[in-house]
Amino acid sequence: MSLRDLQERYLPSLEAELQAVAQAPQQQHAELFGILRYHLGWVDSTLKPSPAESGKRVRPMLCLLACEGCGGDWQKALPAAAAVELLHNFSLIHDDIEDGDRTRRGRPTVWAVWGEARGINAGDAMFGLAHLALLRLRGRGVEDGKVLAALDLLIESELALTGGQHLDIGFEDRGDVTADDYLAMIEGKTAALVSCACKLGAVVAAANADRQARLASFGRHLGIAFQMRDDILGVWGDPEKTGKPSGADLARRKKSLLVLHGAENNSELRGLLAQDALSEEEIDTATRLLEQVGSRRYVEELEREHHTRALASLEKASLQGPAGEALKELAQGLLGRCR
């Protein structure tokens, strides 16, 4: 069974699980939950059903595959997979406000439709739902101690997430951000939740501590490699595939690892990247310099290194059957994006 087959098997159940959690408990909260359902891609901004792009559900897929690959019943892990996806979406709602982004997945962001106050509050509700989702593990026959262990993991990754986000916000005002600072930031902002997703699958499958640690390590390196790829695509990505104009990260003056490395190693780049805005010509110059200075190579090497480590951890976890293979396929696909 290929990754695609497994996706076809898992995803409808995952959507059903998410739908079951994101139901307003009372009619008076219908609008708030409508906002959450909009963000999750099920309704339009008038709250009428309208399937939109809902994101790739990568994290829950990792969780379900990890569970099955450890010999567990993937259906038992649905609450954990849903929790991870809801936590990811909570962070997107708040990030969009914090970054002032008005568009996501081709639609207006929550705050762009409903304003900042409702947007902050809707993110908080999504945060609460992530925990509610996880507690549904009890209804799947997962024993209490294991549910609490899963909650420990979720909360740990939440705190890592906010820690990483705090560093990221701080980067905007700082001229002295180093590549190491950046790596510390994405450990929290990107890697922690991907790692949590994989480990949760192992926990539900009652895998031993060694396997849990291997899968956590797989997720962590995968998350870091994924972010490196994202940074490359932010400059050299095909606009048709990424949905962003090429050079988008340079135009936004985003402090990606690429940009930080470039500025550390080349004074012309440093000057360009310190400007308030860049013309198209300057974006072209910066793009060329990033290549010449070796920044692209540096980031691609790091990506490869983490990719290799991710796959080595996965190998050592010695997963079983098609789910193990599919995890590898998923990892390869994420990292081969739009090259």
Q: Which residues here bind a second copy, judged by CB under 8 A?
A: 25-26, 28-29, 31-32, 90, 94, 97-99, 115-118, 120-125, 127-129, 131-132, 135, 138, 144-145, 147-148, 151-152, 155, 158-159, 161-163, 165-167, 169-170, 184
Which is closer to a second copy, CB of 91 or CB of 295?
Answer: 91
CB 18 within 8 A of CB 55: no
The minimum distance between CB 29 and a second copy, in angstroms, equals 4
Residue 200 CB coordination number (10 Å): 34
The token pair at 121 is 């509050």
Contacts 24+ apart (CB under 8 A), 108-115: 108/45, 110/35, 110/38, 110/39, 113/35, 113/38, 113/45, 114/35
Alpha carbon of residue 160 to chain centroid: 13
Which is closer to a second copy, CB of 14 or CB of 129?
Answer: 129
User: 147 CB contacts (<8 Å, ≥6 apart)?
Assistant: 134, 135, 137, 138
The minimum distance between CB 36 and a second copy, in angstroms, equals 10
The minimum distance between CB 125 and a second copy, in angstroms, equals 4
- In which element (H, E) is residue 103 found? strand 103-104
The token pair at 197 is 């997703």
User: 196 CB contacts (<8 Å, ≥6 apart)?
Assistant: 84, 153, 154, 156, 157, 216, 219
Which is closer to a second copy, CB of 87 or CB of 319?
Answer: 87
**Amino acid (1-letter code) at residue 113:** V
Which is closer to a second copy, CB of 172 or CB of 280?
Answer: 172
The minimum distance between CB 21 and a second copy, in angstroms, equals 11
The minimum distance between CB 31 and a second copy, in angstroms, equals 7
Which is closer to a second copy, CB of 178 or CB of 292?
Answer: 178
Which is closer to a second copy, CB of 9 or CB of 171?
Answer: 171
The minimum distance between CB 7 and a second copy, in angstroms, equals 30
